């Protein structure tokens, strides 16, 4: 009987797979301030000041930047939090989700 528990546990571990991951991107616009983008990156995505500034410049210069890679639920939650905070502050900041390959 001791072997039964080990085999069952082994089968369960064998069937587990890594979850599909999703990228969250921020998109540049002509209205959202650089300071607000940095604030979003620090508050919602937990970036430090240096990383937040670096990502903000990528958004500004390249039109968009990957902010992070998360599971589906977390990625969509962060996008919704970004949209809510942007709307509350009068900015049209766009955050989107795409599959990470």
Residue 7 lies in a domain: no
Q: 83: domain range?
A: 18-99
Residue 8 lies in a domain: no
Place of tokens 């937990």: 46
Report CA 24 to chain centroid distance, whole Å: 4
Cα four-point dihedral sign 53, 54, 55, 61? positive
pLDDT tens digits for range 43-83: 999 999 999 999 999 999 999 999 999 999 999 999 999 99
Q: What is the pTM of this model?
A: 0.82
Residue 1 lies in a domain: no
Q: CA dihedral defined by 13, 17, 18, 22, rounded to 10 degrees? A: -150
**8 A C-beta contact, residue 67 and residue 95:** yes
Residue 5 lies in a domain: no
Q: Which two tokens stand for residue 100?
A: 């990470």
Q: Which two tokens stand for residue 90?
A: 């009068």
Residue 93 lies in a domain: yes
Q: Looking at residue 86, which CATH number applies to its domain?
A: 3.30.1390.10
pLDDT tens digits for range 4-23: 555 555 565 567 888 999 99
In order of 65, 81, 93, the CA distances from 60 in angstroms are 9, 21, 12
């Amino acid at each position: 009987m001791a072997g039964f528990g080990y085999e069952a546990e082994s089968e369960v571990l064998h069937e587990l797979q890594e979850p599909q991951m999703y990228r969250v991107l921020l998109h540049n616009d002509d209205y959202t301030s650089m300071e607000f983008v940095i604030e979003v990156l620090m508050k919602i995505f937990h970036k430090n000041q240096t990383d937040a500034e670096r990502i903000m410049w990528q958004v500004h210069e390249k039109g968009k930047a990957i902010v992070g890679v998360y599971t589906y639920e977390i990625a969509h939650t962060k996008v919704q939090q970004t949209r809510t905070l942007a709307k509350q502050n009068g900015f049209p900041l766009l955050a989107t989700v795409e599959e990470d390959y």
